[in-house]
Structure formats: structure tokens, C-alpha cells
Amino acid sequence: MSERKPDSARIRKLLDAYADGELSPAAELEVERALVAHPELSAELERIRELKALLASAAPEPSAEKLEKLSASVAAALESPPAASRRSGRVPGDTPAFRKAFLAIAAVLLLLLLPLGYYSRHRKDAPSAKVEEVEVGEGSGVKVISPEGASYSVIRITTHERDAVSVREIETAEGYSCEVVEDPDSGDAVIRLIPPAEEDDRKE
Amino acid sequence: MPEPDDRTLIKRFLAGDRDALDELLRRYRGEAVRIALSVLHNEDDAFDAAQEAFIKVFRNIHKFGGRSRFSTWLYRIVYNAALDVARKKRRYVNRTEGKGEDQRAGNPADRGEYAPPDDRLARSEKEELVRRCLDELPFKYRVVITLKDIEGLSYDEIAEMLSTSRGNVMSRLYYGRSRLRKMIEARMKR
């Protein structure tokens, strides 16, 4: 009996993904065989499906009136020029002069952060920028922060493998990009800015 | 006549078609608010975050390369906008992993936080219970469960949104749903 426990625990962990239709064909087959052999797993699967159904039907429904107002507010904001948001200080200008100043200030900030262990890897080639990872439990969100404290908008994150290490590249709405390299041993994420020159090299 | 897909609507929006904007908003505004709610617990803040996100999305829509679905791109921006609001308001909920599933006490409505409107009579008590328990789950579980079971995103889409691995999504769903079930069962026994 003790020999079957690890398999049973493994299958239990796969049941949620099976209910979600997210397993590979081989893993799916493994679960289906276990379901036939162990009826208690079928009951477990049924409970997962019941919970999923309940969650789907229990979704909060924001009021239709507020949703209409949301649409109207967005449409109205889009009709005004984007410069309005820059005036409010939320999105800094993107002129070459500003970028130079930004990178210079950010370089100082980065040097201040290094001794704190903020960047534990890629120190020797970490370029200038202040990047902050906002942690909320494990669901961390990556933020790129300007020297003034305004956050840039992350518009795309792509993940790929480089030398067996998971690398996430981040593109911001304001034109800066950076990457997150995940340490395969510790799972820690290290963030660094990709300077335009390096980006060009990688494209070639 | 089939509804136009997102890419068609985006092209029309870029060509100046205001109706295309309305349609994209109508299509995704509910989901956007719900995702923001899963982070923020406060309806007004969730609407603010959703509005901020939509404005960013449509101002930058020419940068949308189409490598992922429009919805995934949008949800990612909504999620970040919600984190931003949370950071500004220090509305971090259940920030610490594994230190008790309910670090708050009492009814969310009593604390001025989000409570669903009570004018929908068809909702069963069990659904209300599920909603309350979901609301009290630690953040990392609540978000993945919302994205999967309420919004119907795939594991890959959730992983992309949250900048994490597919295995992590799978693991969070497993532990999150297990914990949620235990909470529901415990309360139903009372």
C-alpha cells in the first residue's frame, strides 16, 4: 500500500489539469487508467468539476450601468490627445534628450541598488535603468519605474528558453524593454534592461 | 452573420471606426473588471484599473503584434494596472504565502470592500458561499482560479499573463482549488 501512495499523490495533482483539459495525451492516458483502477479518484474528479461549475456560475457581475460608464469614459479619454496624460506626469516624454537624461539618472539609481543585492546576477553587464518587481504573493508583476516614480506600462511579455534558462522579455508601452531571467535552481527572477545596442545584436 | 473577430475590429479601430472600439470594449469590459477585482477586492478601484488599462491598450494598440491573443494582451495590462492601483493604495491582500488563508475578518461588505450587488435573486446560497471563500483565498490562488475558472483562460495564457511557468499555474490551481474546497466544506458544516 505504501508503494502506491506516491503514484496516487501524483495522479491527484494531475486531476485538476485533467479536468481543465490541459494534460498531454500521455498524461491524460495515465490519469484515465488510474481513474479506472481507483474509484476514489473518480469521486475526486467529480468534486473538482463541481467546484469548477460553481465558480463559473458564481462570477461577480459588475453592473451594466457602470460598464456603460466605463466604455464612455474610455472613449472620451481616447478622444483627448495622449499628451494630457504626460502633463499629469504619469507618462514621461520620449524625446531623445529625455531618454538620455533618464538613462543617466537611472544609471545612478542602479549603482545604488547593486550593493543591496537587488541584482544578483548579470551585475557586470547590467545596464542603466531602475526596474522594480512588485511582489504580491507569488503572483508577481513586473514594473519598470521611471526616476520620478511613474510606472511604465508592460504591454508584452514573451517567454523563451536560452541555454536551458527561462527568459522573459518585457516590452513597455513607452519603448523601453527589459528581460527577466529565472534562476533554474532558486527560482529567483533577476531583471535587467536590454540596451538598444544589445537588442540589435540579438536580432542579427 | 458572424461577429467580427478581434483582429478585424482592431484594424477597423485603427482606421478610425468608433463602433469597433465600442464593440471591443463591450466584449472585454466585464472580464477586465473581474480580473481587476480579483486583485483589488474593491469595485470602484477595479473599474479605475480597468479604465486605465483600456486607455493604455487602445493608445498602444498599433504595437499589438498579434503573437498572442488580444484578450491575453489586454488582461495582462489590466492585471498590471490593478497591481499598480493596489501598490498606490497599499491594498495588498493576503500578500504572505501560506500564513493563514484569511488574514482579514468579517464580511467584505462590512469593510467597505467589494460585495456583489444583492439585486440578483437567482443566485444560490452556495454560489454566494463560493464567492466569499474565493475572495478570502490567498492572492496567488485567487488570481489563477479567477483566470481559469471564471475567465476561461488556458494555462499558457495565464502563465504569460502572470510571468510565470505553466507548471506553476498548474500547481497553484491544484493547491488553490483544494484549499477552496476545504473552506467551502467547513462552512457548509456550520
Domain boundaries, chain B: 1-92, 98-190
Least Cα separation, residue A97 to chain B (angstroms)? 22
Mutate to test the interface with A, among B92, B141, B149 (most CBs of A within 10 A): B149
**Is the CB of residue A15 less than 8 Å from the CB of residue A30?**
no
Would you call A173 an interface residue with chain B, using a CB distance cutoff of 8 Å? yes
pLDDT at B102 over 80: no
Which residues of chain B make contact with A67, given a CB cutoff of 8 A? 29-30, 33
Within this chain, do residues A110 and A165 fall inside the same structural domain, yes or no?
yes
Residue A67 lies in a domain: no
Within this chain, do residues A52 and A102 fall inside the same structural domain, yes or no?
no
CB contact under 8 A, B130 and A180: no
Return the C-alpha cell found at A191: 531583471
Within this chain, do residues A121 and A34 fall inside the same structural domain, yes or no?
no
Within this chain, do residues A30 and A124 fall inside the same structural domain, yes or no?
no
Residue A199 lies in a domain: yes
Q: Which of B43, B92, B162 lies nearest to residue A62, judging by beta carbons?
A: B43
Residue A73 lies in a domain: no
Q: Which of B37, B63, B96 lies nearest to residue A155, judging by beta carbons?
A: B63
- The count of structural domains within chain A is 2
Q: Which of B24-28, B117-121, B171-175 has the lowest mean pLDDT?
A: B117-121
Within this chain, do residues A47 and A103 fall inside the same structural domain, yes or no?
no
The mean per-residue pLDDT over the stretch A69-82 comes to: 86
pLDDT for A21 equals 95
pLDDT, one tens digit per residue, over A135-163 is: 333 334 555 555 455 565 665 666 655 55
User: Cα–Cα distance between A2 and B140 in angstroms, integer?
Assistant: 33
Burial of B67 per CB tally in 10 Å (0-12, 13-18, 19+)? exposed
pLDDT for B101 equals 35
Residue A185 lies in a domain: yes
Within this chain, do residues A96 and A176 fall inside the same structural domain, yes or no?
yes
Which residues of chain B make contact with A160, given a CB cutoff of 8 A? none
CB atoms within 10 A of CB A177: 19
Which residues of chain B make contact with A62, given a CB cutoff of 8 A? 30, 33-34, 37, 43, 46-47
Domain B1-92: state its class.
mainly alpha
Within this chain, do residues A22 and A121 fall inside the same structural domain, yes or no?
no
Q: Which of B169, B172, B162 is nearest to B141 (CA)?
A: B172
Within this chain, do residues A112 and A19 fall inside the same structural domain, yes or no?
no
Q: Domain span at residue A108?
A: 92-203
* B98-190: CATH architecture: Orthogonal Bundle (1.10)
User: Cα–Cα distance between A72 and B54 in angstroms, integer?
Assistant: 11
Residue B82 CB-half CA count within 13 A: 31
pLDDT, one tens digit per residue, over B136-155 is: 898 889 999 999 999 899 99
User: Cα–Cα distance between B168 and B57 in angstroms, integer?
Assistant: 27
CB contact under 8 A, A20 and B79: no
Mean residue pLDDT of chain B comes to 80
The ipTM is 0.74
pLDDT, one tens digit per residue, over B47-83 is: 999 999 999 999 988 888 777 889 988 998 999 899 8
